[in-house]
Amino acid sequence: MINYNPKDWFTFIFHAHKSDTIRKLWPLMISVAIFSGIIAFLELNYLKLAETTYVKNIGMMHNLLGFVISMLLVFRTNTSYDRWWEGRRFLGALTNVSRNFAIKIKALKLNKEHLEFFEYGIPKYAFALKEHLREKQYFGKNSFLIEVDGGKHIPNQVAASISSRVFELQAAGIISQEQLIILNADIQQFTDICGGCERIKNTPIPYSYSAFIKKFIFIYVITLPFGWVFSLGYFVVPIVPFILYVLASLELIAEEIENPFGSDANDLPVDEICNNIEKHVEQILR
């Protein structure tokens, strides 16, 4: 995730970051500019359509469809941002439950062996969940404390190991039944958070909806020169690619943030959150 000052307008306007959508769109923008120039030349110099009323009125179609495409893009962007923000809420909940669980473990006055296990296991769940959401595997350091099978759901294995250790403490009489119930509630929250993050990642925007928006934007932009050339002339060459840049950028941004757990520039700071969990749990238990 990019850290920035939202009040620094100068940087936003004049600094080109690697995440800017123009880096992805410039080949298509150049192609549209060339296409617009060809259409303008043919209509103004070769076909002599400047006085043909019915072609001149093609722009009315774009006035009507402009409202439709703007509503679609607003809905698309809002839907993706809702997924991004919901993912942030789940990661915030993961931070809170990790701290709370560590505080309760510290209050139990366990021996050094048990404290080392939880100091390793609690942050390991966060790191395992991060790599699981990125379709990678996480084993981490000191893996002998919690053995995992790389071919299975690693966050579930870590949660199961933590739960087993808590039940062992209760069976050994180190903690009471009431304390077991309190600790088990926190362990269940780990799994609930994992399920919520998986729901966001594994449920993308329906294919037909996303494909329709892309086709709509392309057809809308590619037909602009036919009607606008009579009022703008050769100015359609820079204007039409700019319209493409604005509309397509909204779709690209929505695509990037709808899966907020990746490593793109606009994704959530998952690595930083996991590192903070590890640091805070270590501070609490030592």
pLDDT recorded at residue 206? 85
In this prediction, residue 210 carries a pLDDT of: 85
| Res 23: pLDDT | 81
Measured in degrees and rounded to the nearest 5, phi and psi for residue 218 equal -65, -50
Q: With contact defined as beta carbons under 8 Å apart, do 73 and 213 qualify?
A: yes
Q: How confident is the model over 2-43, as pLDDT tens digits?
A: 665 566 666 656 566 655 777 888 899 999 999 999 988 887
Q: Tell me the C-alpha distance between 261 and 271, whole Å.
A: 10
> pTM of the full predicted structure?
0.82
CB 33 within 8 A of CB 241: yes
CA–CA dist 196, 201 (Å, integer): 9
Number of H-type helices and E-type strands within the chain: 11, 0
- What is the reported pLDDT for 286? 82
Question: Residue 253: which residues within 8 A CB-CB, separation 6 or more?
Answer: 21, 77, 80, 266
Cα–Cα distance, 168 to 1 (Å, whole number)? 40
The token pair that represents 42 in the structure block? 């043919």
pLDDT of residue 7: 61
Q: In this structure, which amino acid lies at residue 283?
A: Q
Rounded CA-CA distance 154/246 in Å is 41
Cα Dmax for the chain: 94
By the 8 A CB rule, do 92 and 236 touch?
no
Which pLDDT belongs to residue 276?
94
Contact 260, 73 (CB under 8 A): no
Give the residue ranges of the chain where pLDDT is below 70.
Answer: 1-19, 49-56, 137-151
Contact 163, 184 (CB under 8 A): yes
Residue 123 exposed, middle or buried by CB count within 10 Å (0-12, 13-18, 19+): buried
d(CA 124, CA 139): 8
